[in-house]
Chain A
Amino acid sequence: MYNFISNSSTIQDIIKGLNLTKSLFVSSIIIGEAHIGKKGLISSIFGDLPMVSAKDTEILKDTLQHNNELIITDFEHIQNTPITLLEDKKIIATANYITNQNLIDDIFAFIYHMPSLKDRKEDILYLTDLYITEAQKILSDNNDTDINIDDIDIDLQQNTKSLKSSIYKYILNKSMSKEDIKKSLYNYIYKHIDGNNAYKEFLDIYEEPLIQAGLARYHSQLKLSSILGINRNTLRKKILEHKIDA
């Protein structure tokens, strides 16, 4: 069974409430933004119940007709489903937002509001560590990739989805080989090459990070020009051209 872990006290209360009523014939709904773990939480407690999305009206009707206890996800999409089908059932549901307050109020005994990831500081660090380990296993040959959490541009706009995406991108960038970078560049250039100045435009993709990384590492334009094997004035010109903060 799926194991749901959270350090948020509000979510601990929701888990406790759902566990207390697990053996009872009561309907519960969890409402909260997309990608905050609603489905995972419910699966961890009610994993043995059939699960259906309210987006699939016909499958939902069929499942309701054949089951007294079920999980309905995407409850905000419920429509054209007769209320009589929903009555006298044990329904465990999730919704990203509320579309029909009266229906929710009539059907559900327990209405839980699950906080977004940005409001669960305790969970951000835990999930970041979890996704880093997961990404390293999948994307990196070894687990000792040099990781600095402060360097990750963490995005919580879409909760776990964007958090995971930002971490995977970070690990991917850290673990790419020369060949991977070439393939990436090939794909990018193939998709975007156009116009009458492409050589110059696409050279920038290489030149800009080359100088930025070199300056970050050696801190000195004199040293870097020597490493790059170019004249100091040429390097200075390119720094100005790319508006690099030197």
Chain B
Amino acid sequence: MHDIDFQSFIDNDNSPFILFDNNAKILYLNNSAEILLGYVLKSKIYNIALQYAPQNFGVKTTTLYLNYESFSFYAITVGYESEEQIYIRFYHAPKVKQNIKIDTDKLMLTDINLLLEANITLFKSRYKTSLKLLTDPDIPEFKIDQNRFSKLLRKIFDLFAKTKEISITLKFLVGEHIIIDNKHYHIIRLSIISDDTIDNNPKISNIAKECFISYLIQTNSVTLEIPLLID
């Protein structure tokens, strides 16, 4: 057990995790927390951690609904084992999309990795940006409007046309769901991140909506949360 590097598990955990010192300085944060801090001040999170900390050394989980832009959480865990350090972990609430009916007639079972690879090939044929790809080849086939989704990917990739390098990550979000039309669906997250600034294309959010996909754009990244529609 002593040889296991637990930090990489926390780094890639979908739940934001932040470790503060007693001056509200961040000592560690995982990837998910890094995205969260784009939407909420660290001082605000530190205050929440202090407010919901256990009275003595130890760990306390509290049910608490928090909303920051597209993020919504239903609980937090706060813990400390010394006077110098305190951590907070957030638990994602299931996402609910109401008033959406999915017309599955136009959707076809698709290997998302295939569509992603085709879009990367198109991107490479047009731009000199270098690419890093981290994908999960075991994501099962799910239903998607292949043409519309590819169009969405093309437009998103075009946002990165002038960047020097991009990192693409495609992964299955364990334990997270989205509720559409009263049905729970697992979520696939596609993130494209660059060191350079990107501009938005207002058409993208509409196409994403038509595909039942959550679209989140920041100054240098795009995140898609794609429902894994099986039936």
Contacts and interface: CB of A to CB of B under 8 A. Distances in A.
A24 B125 contact: no
Contact of B110 (A14, A24, A108, A109): A24
Contacts of A17: 118, 121-122, 125
Interface residues of B, number: 20
Nearest to B117: A20
A26 B146 contact: yes
Given A14-B125, A20-B114, A20-B121, A27 B147 contact: yes
A112 interface: yes
Interface residues of A, number: 19
Contacts of A184: none
Interface string B106-149: 10101000110111011011100000000000000000001111
Contacts, number: 56
State the main secondary structure of chain A at its contact with B. mixed
A26 B122 CA distance: 14
B150 A109 contact: yes
A110 B114 contact: no
B154 interface: yes
Contact of B125 (A20, A25, A90, A112): A112
10 contacts: A13-B125, A17-B122, A21-B114, A26-B115, A27-B147, A108-B151, A110-B119, A110-B150, A111-B154, A113-B125
Given A21-B114, A24-B114, A110-B122, 8 more contacts: A16-B121, A17-B121, A24-B108, A110-B150, A110-B154, A111-B154, A112-B125, A113-B125
